[in-house]
Amino acid sequence: MKKVFGWGVVATLALALSASAFDAATAQEAKKAKNVILFIGDGMGFNSDLLGTYWRYGEAGAQSYHKFPVQLGSATFCATDKYDPKKDDGYPVGKIWEGPEAAMHRLQENCPTTDSAASGTALNTGVKTQSGRIGYSKDGKKLENFADINYRAGRSVGVVTTVQISHATPAATSAHNINRGNYEEISKEQINDLPLTVLFGAGHPAYNRGSKINKKPEDLNYQFVGGREVWEAVSKDNGYKGWKFIDEREKFAELAKKTPDTNPTDLPKKILGIGRDNGDMLPIDGFADDESFVEERYSAEAIANTPTLTEMTLGALNVLAQNDKGFYLMVEGGAIDHANHGRNAQNSALEHASFSKAIDAAIEWVEKYSSWDDTIMIVTSDHETGCIWGAGTFEDMDENGKFDPKKDEFNEFAELEESDIGECPEVQYLSSGHSHWLVPFYAKGQGAEIANELVRGNDETAADMWDFSGDFIYNSDVFNVMKAASGLK
C-alpha cells in the first residue's frame, strides 16, 4: 500500500490551509474606511429629492447616488426629556399615512419633529436629543461627536456648507453648545478651539448675496464668524490659530483644481473659507441644462463672488487628502431646507441641483484619487421640510397656496408628477415647517452594508411611494455606520 501522507503532514497542511484562509478572512474583516464623506441635504425628504431630480433629469432615480448599493429610509424624530430609547417607538409604522396632522406634529408623545440641531447631533453622535442642542444630550451632557473621534485617531476633519458655518448642521458636525442660537460662541469654538482642517461656508460680515454691505465696520454682523475680534484677526490671513483664510470665489476654484495628481506643494494645513454671503450662498450652479436660467436670476457680481458647493467640496477634498491617515468630510446643501420653509419649489430645485452636482464631483474625485475600498460615502438628510406632495393633495379653497385643515380639503398624499428637464414639477406644500416623513439614506463604499444590519422597521407605503425596500434606520444610526465602517473607537 502506497503511503501518500503521514498524519503529521496532513495535519500541517490542514493547519497551513486554515491559517491562510483565516488570514484572508481577517484581512477582509480588518479592511476599514480611511475616508468618510457625509452629504446632508438639509430639509430634503424623499419628495424634495424627487423634485430636484425631475428638475435636473426629468426622470426619477437618475441621480448618481440613486445607484448606490445601500438604499434605505431614515426616521428623524427627536427626543424630549422623557424619551427612553429602549422603550419608545419613535416612528410607528403606518401612523404617518393617516393624514397631514400626524405627519406634521408628533407620531409619539416623547418624539416630536426634529430641528437640524438635534438631527445633526444624532447623525454625528448617535444620540437622539431635543431640538436646539448642538452635541449635547437631552439631559445636558456634552457628547463626543464623530469629528472628535477622528481628531483622536489623527485623521483630518472638514466641514462644508452653503449656509453659515455656525448654523445648526455644520455646528452639530463640529462644535458643542447647549443652544444652536449661540452663533458667536459656536463659531468661536470652531475657529479658536477645534482642530478642524477645513471650514467652508457663509456668514461673511461684509457681503451679502455677493455684494458689499454698505455699513460702517462697527455696524456689521460678525456673530456667525466668531465675533468682530476673531473675524478681524483671522481674515487678515496672517496665520491666526494656524488658519489660511480665503473669501474670493477664485480662491475656492483654484483649490478645487489642486487635485492630488497635480502634486500641489502649496496646500494649506488648515483653511477657513467664508463665501461672500452673510446668509445663504446663492445656488449659482443650480440650473438644470441651461446656464442662462441662473444668469437671468442672479447678478453678474453675485455669480463672480459666490463659490459653488462643488468648488468648495473639491477644494476641501484636496486639502484633506494630504493626511495619509484619512479624513471625515461633512458637506451640507443647507438651503434646500430654507427654500422648502418658504414653500418655494423652484428655489428648492435649484438648491438641490447645486447639492447633487457636488455629490457627482465627490464621486468622481473618490474614483480618481481614492477608491470605494478606502472610502464610504453617505447621502442623507436631517429631516423633511414642507410636507411636499404632488398637485391635487388638497383643495386650496382660499387659493393662498397654504394648507389650512379648517378651510381646505385634504384629498390624499398625491405622488409627484414627472416634469421635463429644467421644468419645476407642480407640488403642494402642506406645511412650512419640518415633518416626520422618512428621509432618504444612500451609501456606497467600504462598510456601507453595515447600515442594512441596523434596520429598525419597514414602511410598506413608503416603499410603494418612493421605490425602495421600505426598510428604515434612525438618523442616529448614521453615526454608528460611520464609526463601524471607519473602525474608529
Residues within the interface to Zn ion (CB under 5 A): 337
Of 148 and 337, which has the nearer Cβ to Zn ion? 337
φ, ψ dihedrals at 390, nearest 5°: -75, 170
Contacts of 209 (CB under 8 A, 6+ apart): 277, 279, 282, 298, 299, 302, 306
Smallest gap from Cβ 63 to Zn ion, in A, equals 22
327-333 and 35-41 strand pairing: parallel
Smallest gap from Cβ 434 to Zn ion, in A, equals 6
Of 402 and 456, which has the nearer Cβ to Zn ion? 402
Smallest gap from Cβ 168 to Zn ion, in A, equals 8
Give Cα separations from 2 to 5, 9, 14, 97, 457 (angstroms): 9, 15, 21, 75, 61
Smallest gap from Cβ 42 to Zn ion, in A, equals 7
Q: Half-sphere exposure of residue 62, counting CA atoms within 13 Å on the CB side?
A: 17
Taking the C-alpha atoms of 89, 91, 94 and 95 in order, what is their torsion angle to the nearest 10 degrees? Answer: 90
Of 120 and 158, which has the nearer Cβ to Zn ion? 120
Smallest gap from Cβ 39 to Zn ion, in A, equals 17
Of 169 and 370, which has the nearer Cβ to Zn ion? 169
Distance (Å, rounded) from C-alpha 66 to C-alpha 72? Answer: 11
Asked if 385 and 435 touch (Cβ cutoff 8 Å), the reply is yes
Distance (Å, rounded) from C-alpha 390 to C-alpha 405? Answer: 17
Q: What residue number has its CB nearest to Zn ion?
A: 337
Of 165 and 191, which has the nearer Cβ to Zn ion? 165
Smallest gap from Cβ 440 to Zn ion, in A, equals 17
Smallest gap from Cβ 248 to Zn ion, in A, equals 29
Of 186 and 314, which has the nearer Cβ to Zn ion? 186
Strand order in the sheet with 471-474: 244-246, 271-274, 198-202, 156-164, 327-333, 35-41, 375-381, 439-445, 70-75, 471-474, 457-458
Of 169 and 278, which has the nearer Cβ to Zn ion? 169
